[in-house]
Structure formats: C-alpha cells, structure tokens
C-alpha cells in the first residue's frame, strides 16, 4: 500500500482500524485469504468486489459473527477480538449487516432500542424510548409511527431503521453492508449526509456497495477484494472508474456493458390491444385503481418515492393481494386473480424485493430453489426428474454466472448477489409471459448487472412482458418502453417514448400534479 495523505494527517500514524492477514475458510473453501484493510480516522472507506468476493464475510469476521481462521484486528493500535456482534458493539464497532436482522413483531422503537432500552427502576420507559426514537428517525427524514410493528413497513424503511440504530450506537466505527440497495436517491442523500456528519466527528466508516456512483460520491478510499484476496487499496479521487472495474473483475468490462446503453428501438411496435390488460385494477386502502396494458415484449417501469405504492402494485398484479376493483383480461378473456398460483398459471412470475423472507428458501439447495416455482406449477404429482432438475439448474448457473457453480449448496450459504441471481433463475425457468421484478438487480455486482440487463432485454425481444421496479432510474430507463410514476399509492403520470429519460422521471416524481387515474 502506498502511503498517501489522509484527511487528518495527525492520526495517520495509528489507523483507527487495522486488519492484517485476515483469513477464513468455509469447509475447506477459502472465502478470505490474508486480507489487509486499513481504516483511518474520519474516513469513509469503500469495500468493493464482485458478488462472492468476500466482503460480507470480511465484515462478519472482524465483528465476530463468524470466527476467523487467522489474522489480527487492531483498533487504535490495540488488538481486539470480538466474539459476537454484541462484543463488537461494546468495542465501538456498529454494523448493519447485508441481511438486516431486526425483529418484525416488535415496534420500531423497540427495535431501535433493543438491548439498551432506557429504564427506570428496572422498567422500560416507553415514553422516553418513543421520544428518542422519533428524534433519531428525524435525522433520516423518517416520520413514521414508532409504536407500530416494524414488519408493517417496507423493506426500505426497515433498512433505514437498522441504519439509524447502528448510527446511534456507533462509537468509533460504522460498517454498512450494502445499505443503499433498497433505498431511493432521496434516502441515499440523507444517509450520505449522516455519514459525512459522523466522519466529520472522526468516526471511520466502512461502506460496501455495488453502486459505483455512490463510491465516487462519498468515499475517500477504496479497498478491492477479488475471490477472497486483497487486490489493492486506492484513493478514490485517484482511481478512474474503468480501472476500478478492472480491479474488481480482474478483466475489462466491455465499454458497451459498463454504461447503460440506450435501448434498442423496439422493432415490434406494441400492438394497441395489449395481451394482458388490467383495467381499473385496485384495492381500497392499498392501491388506487389503475389501468395497465402489456403487450408481449413490452417493458413498463414503475417509478416513485419510498412508500409510493410500487411494491404494492406489484403484489396486486401477482395476486398476492386480491384486488377488489377492476378486472384482468388475458388475450381478451377475463381471468380471475385470487392468488399467486392463479398468476403463475397464467404465466406470471414475481421476484419480490425481500430476498431473505420472501425469496430464498435458505436451507434448500440452489437447484431446488431454482426449480421451485416450475415444480409448484407442474404440481406434486408431476415431478421433474433429478436429471431435468440438474439440467435446469446447470443451465441457469452458467447463464447467470452463479458462483460458486455448485447446484447442491444450500442457497443460504451463497453471497447476497448470487442468491439474487438464483431467484431470477427460478422465474426464468418457468418461461413466464409476464415477469414482475421488484429491484431485480439489488445487490448484483457491476459485471453481472450489465449481463442481467442484457439478458432481460433479450427475453423481451423474445416476447416477455415485463414490469420492473427499480430505485435506479438509469436501470428503468435502459429497458422501459413506458414508465408509470406513482405517488401516494396511485399513478400520477405515464411517460412514453421520448419522455422516458431520467430527467423527465425525476420531474414527474417531484411534480405536484393531480392524480391521473381515479
């Protein structure tokens, strides 16, 4: 590592956190191999790498969630060896893990103060706890009922609550493992403000993300891992993006794939009829009635702020929630949509936002997870033979580059991004005619990201209709023919053709137009 000027020169001598030679194997497979990371006082430091590079494992190993095989961790020069997240906290290291582990049945306030409730005479001071919770969340522009169960709120809100909790408890170091994966631009800005504020107070922040824009927006330094090994540490300002990508992937990413290329002009003009038509579809108190027509090959993006009703719309389209208004016709025939099974029968697929609780079945293998929806549609009495299952799993492992390419590994042991790829595979395996994707590239690395977008686009040219929700507007723009903007659980604007660009979407989101659909 080349010595370079640090933000506060006085403390450059003893780094806040120095990790040396950290190694960790899982059943003989090295996930980390002699990794060194140095975090200085007042620094925001990006930890980058492909899916499965070992970022989350690194974080778990230094906070004692997994035991490390070798290596030392020193905090301000003093060796520390926490044996659990709790001990790490006591040492001053607060962490938001990639899979947020809060308790959905407890209230927001209880989650924020779990294990450190303000008490008097041994009794929890509810009022005090609520007051402090509200104050804490105000820093994040979050105005929610802190007395409601956390599980009532969206993933993004839950994530923000986890972050707020960690920020409040971080004494010396804050570690964030893909905190922004489910956040919109606005929340990301708020988070960055909080992070800068903490760094200004001398805390060190370790930040894992796959959004390179964010890396350049906020970090001072970058450490890159590849296949569990350290590739190098650089100053952010001195590292061009292409060079960073090369460090992460170990190869060049083709020019075309690294950008979000403008979508190819849709040759097949969407036929006016629309094969799948939702008319006046809605549910009282959930999503206001809307119309949505999808011809084969068409892509509709849903944009809007946190809580605007995008995920709710997706759940309505897939029959997770039953609509109490409107109707659905497919190829002109009226169709009942009372459950996900109905939706699947008509060739719909839905990749939910919540990977851990609604997506993966952690203890089943990658193969079983991939064939699950297809098998469920065929019914128990028409089992896919083991050979067919192997073939399907192998095909998608190769197509989506799922790593490690071992179909028999329990999916819960895969890295977050690789789990996401397997979930996509689950739906692609059903050869759907309509795919509803809620944050499809959440947690997926730069290399795979471009691949997946390319794949989805190709499927669209082959006739797949797509509804996609993404907090990355560039991603929506790169494949949507039409963008529906939502606010307060209703559609407020529909952008088509030339109007599908980031600026227009942002304007539509911000605009105070009266609702379109009624």
Partner 1 sequence: MRFRLPRKGLPQIAAFVVVLLINFAVSPQFFDIRLQDGRLFGSFIDVFNRGAPVALLSLGMVLVVATRGIDLSVGAVMAIAGAIAATLADTHALPVVLLAALGAGLLCGLWNGILVAVLGIQPIIATLILMVAGRGIAQLITEGRIVTFTSPELARFGGGAILGLPVPVVLTASVLAVAVIAIRGTALGLLIEATGANARASALAGIETRTTTIAVYVWSGFCAALAGIVAAADILGADANNAGLWLELDAILAVVIAGSSLLGGRFSLALAVLGALTIQAMNTGILLAGFRPEFNLVVKAVVVLLVLLAQSPRLSGVAVLLARRPA
Ligand X SMILES: Nc1ncnc2c1ncn2[C@@H]1O[C@H](COP(=O)(O)OP(=O)(O)OP(=O)(O)O)[C@@H](O)[C@H]1O
For position 447 contacting ligand X by CB under 6 A, the verdict is no
If phi > 0 it is left, if psi is from -120 to 50 it is alpha, else beta; for residue 445 that is: beta
313 binds ligand X (CB under 6 A): no
Asked if 335 is part of the footprint of partner 1 (rule: CB under 8 A), the reply reads no
Q: Number of helices (H) and strands (E) in the chain: give both, helices first.
A: 17, 22
Q: Which residues, listed in sequence order, are joined to residue 24 by a DSSP beta bridge?
A: 32
Kindly indicate which of the ranges 104-112, 198-206, 412-420, 495-503 contains the residues binding ligand X, using the contact rule CB under 6 A: 412-420
State which of positions 53-72 bind ligand X (CB under 6 A).
53-57
d(CA 263, CA 297): 13
Site size toward Mg ion (CB under 5 A) is 4
Give the integer Cα–Cα distance in Å for 444 and 463.
25
Q: Alpha-carbon Rg of the chain, whole angstroms? A: 23
Q: Quick one: angle between helices 155-169 and 185-200, nearest 10? A: 0
Site membership for partner 1, residue 151 (CB under 8 A): no
Q: What is the DSSP letter of 96?
A: E
User: Does 377 contact partner 1 by CB under 8 A?
Assistant: yes
Phi and psi at 400, nearest 5°, equal -100, 0
- In the region spanning residues 326 to 385, those forming contacts with ligand X, defined by CB under 6 A, are none
In whole angstroms, give the CA distance from residue 315 to residue 194. 33
Tell which residue, 21, 51, 110, 8, has the closest CA to residue 422. Answer: 51
Q: Residues binding partner 1: what is the number (CB under 8 A)?
A: 36
Q: Does 417 bind ligand X (CB under 6 A)?
A: yes
Cis amide bond preceding 404, omega within 30: yes
The whole-angstrom separation of Cα 103 and Cα 30 is 32
Asked whether position 404 contacts ligand X by CB under 6 A, the answer is yes
- Residue 516 neighbours by CB under 8 Å, 6+ apart: 490, 491, 492, 493, 494
Place of tokens 């582990």: 101
**Which range of residues in 154-162, 274-282, 395-403, 413-421 is near Mg ion by CB under 5 A?**
413-421
| Part of the chain binding partner 1 (CB under 8 A), chosen from 149-157, 268-276, 288-296, 366-374 | 366-374
Partner in contact with 447, chosen from ligand X, partner 1, Mg ion, none, beta carbon below 5 to 8 Å by kind? none
Residues 254-293 that bind Mg ion (CB under 5 A): none
Q: Of the listed pieces 50-58, 74-82, 239-247, 325-333, which binds ligand X according to CB under 6 A?
A: 50-58
Residue 364 engages partner 1 in binding (rule: CB under 8 A): yes
Select the binding partner of residue 31 from Mg ion, partner 1, ligand X, none (C-beta < 5 to 8 A, by kind). ligand X
CB of 88 to ligand X, least distance (A): 17
Closer residue to ligand X in complex, CB, 51/298: 51
Task: Quote the Cα angle for 404-366-209, to 5°.
Answer: 55
> Should residue 363 be labelled a site residue for partner 1 when binding is judged by CB under 8 A?
yes
Half-sphere exposure of 173 (CA within 13 A, CB side): 25
Q: In the bound complex, what is the minimum distance in angstroms from residue 377's beta carbon to partner 1? A: 6
d(CA 87, CA 258): 41
By the 8 A CB rule, do 225 and 49 touch?
yes
Read off φ and ψ for residue 306, nearest 5 degrees.
-50, 130
**457 interacts with, out of Mg ion, ligand X, partner 1, none, CB within 5 to 8 A per kind:** none
Cβ neighbourhood burial of 452 (10 Å; 0-12, 13-18, 19+): buried
The option from partner 1, ligand X, Mg ion, none interacting with 515 (CB < 5 to 8 A, set by class) reads none
Position 416 contacts Mg ion (CB under 5 A): yes
Spatial distance between the Cα atoms of 351 and 425, rounded to a whole number of angstroms: 10
Residues 167, 205 contacting (CB under 8 angstroms) = no
Site string for ligand X, 96-125 (x = CB under 6 A): --x---------------------------
Select from Mg ion, ligand X, partner 1, none the partner in contact with residue 53, using the beta carbon and a kind-dependent cut-off of 5 to 8 Å.
ligand X
Cβ 480 to partner 1, closest distance in Å?
A: 24
In the bound state with ligand X, the residue whose beta carbon lies nearer, of 307 and 447, is 447
* Burial label, 364 (beta-carbon count in 10 A; 0-12, 13-18, 19+): middle
Residues of this chain, 384-443, that bind partner 1 according to CB under 8 A: 384, 406, 408-410, 413, 426
Q: How far is the CB of 120 from ligand X (least distance, A)?
A: 41
Q: Which is nearer to partner 1, 78 or 380 (CB)?
A: 380
Q: Which residues bind partner 1 (CB under 8 A)?
A: 27-28, 318, 320, 340-341, 344, 350, 352, 357-364, 368, 372-373, 375-384, 406, 408-410, 413, 426
Q: Which residues bind ligand X (CB under 6 A)?
A: 26, 31, 49, 51-57, 98, 404, 413-418, 443, 445
Q: Which residues bind Mg ion (CB under 5 A)?
A: 56, 98, 415-416
């Amino acid at each position: 590592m080349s010595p370079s000027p640090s933000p506060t020169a006085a403390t450059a001598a003893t780094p806040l956190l120095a990790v040396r030679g950290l190694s960790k194997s899982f059943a003989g497979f090295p996930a980390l191999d002699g990794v060194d990371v140095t975090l200085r006082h007042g620094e925001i430091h990006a930890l980058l790498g492909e899916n499965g590079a070992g970022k989350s494992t690194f974080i778990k190993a230094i906070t004692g969630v997994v035991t490390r095989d070798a290596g030392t961790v020193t905090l301000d020069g003093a060796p520390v060896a926490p044996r659990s997240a709790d001990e790490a906290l006591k040492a001053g290291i607060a962490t938001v893990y990639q899979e947020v582990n809060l308790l959905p049945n407890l209230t927001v306030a209880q989650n924020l103060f779990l294990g450190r409730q303000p008490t008097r005479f041994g009794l929890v001071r509810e009022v005090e706890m609520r007051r402090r919770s509200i104050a804490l969340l105000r820093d994040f522009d979050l105005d929610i009922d802190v007395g409601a169960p956390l599980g009532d709120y969206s993933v993004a809100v839950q994530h923000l609550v986890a972050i707020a909790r960690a920020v409040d408890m971080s004494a010396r170091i804050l570690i964030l493992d893909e905190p922004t994966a489910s956040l919109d631009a606005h929340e990301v800005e708020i988070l960055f403000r909080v992070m800068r504020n903490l760094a200004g107070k001398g805390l060190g922040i370790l930040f894992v993300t796959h959004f390179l824009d964010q890396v350049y927006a906020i970090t001072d330094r970058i450490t890159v891992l590849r296949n569990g090994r350290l590739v190098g540490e650089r100053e952010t300002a001195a590292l061009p993006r292409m060079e960073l990508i090369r460090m992460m992937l170990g190869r060049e990413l083709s020019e075309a794939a690294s950008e979000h290329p403008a979508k190819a002009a849709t040759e097949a003009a969407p036929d006016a009829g629309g094969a799948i038509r939702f008319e006046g579809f809605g549910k009282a108190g959930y999503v206001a009635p809307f119309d949505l027509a999808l011809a084969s090959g068409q892509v509709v993006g849903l944009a809007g702020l946190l809580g605007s009703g995008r995920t709710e719309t997706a759940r309505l389209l897939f029959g997770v929630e039953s609509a109490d208004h409107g109707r659905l016709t497919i190829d002109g025939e009226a169709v009942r949509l009372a459950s996900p099974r109905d939706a699947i029968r008509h060739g719909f697929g839905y990749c939910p936002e919540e990977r851990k609780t609604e997506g993966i079945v952690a203890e089943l293998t990658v193969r079983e997870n991939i064939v699950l929806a297809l098998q469920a549609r065929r019914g128990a009495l028409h089992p896919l033979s083991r050979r067919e299952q192997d073939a399907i799993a192998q095909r998608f492992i190769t197509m989506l580059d799922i790593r490690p390419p071992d179909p028999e590994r329990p999916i819960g042991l895969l890295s977050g991004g690789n789990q996401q790829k397997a979930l996509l595979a689950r739906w692609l395996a059903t050869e759907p005619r309509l795919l509803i994707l809620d944050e499809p590239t959440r947690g997926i690395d730069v290399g795979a990201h471009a691949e997946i977008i390319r794949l989805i686009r190709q499927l669209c040219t082959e006739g797949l209709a797509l509804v996609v929700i993404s907090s990355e507007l560039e991603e929506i723009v790169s494949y949507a023919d039409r963008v529906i903007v939502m606010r307060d659980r209703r559609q407020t604007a529909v952008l088509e053709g030339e109007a599908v660009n980031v600026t227009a979407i942002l304007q539509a989101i911000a605009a105070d137009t009266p609702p379109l659909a009624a």
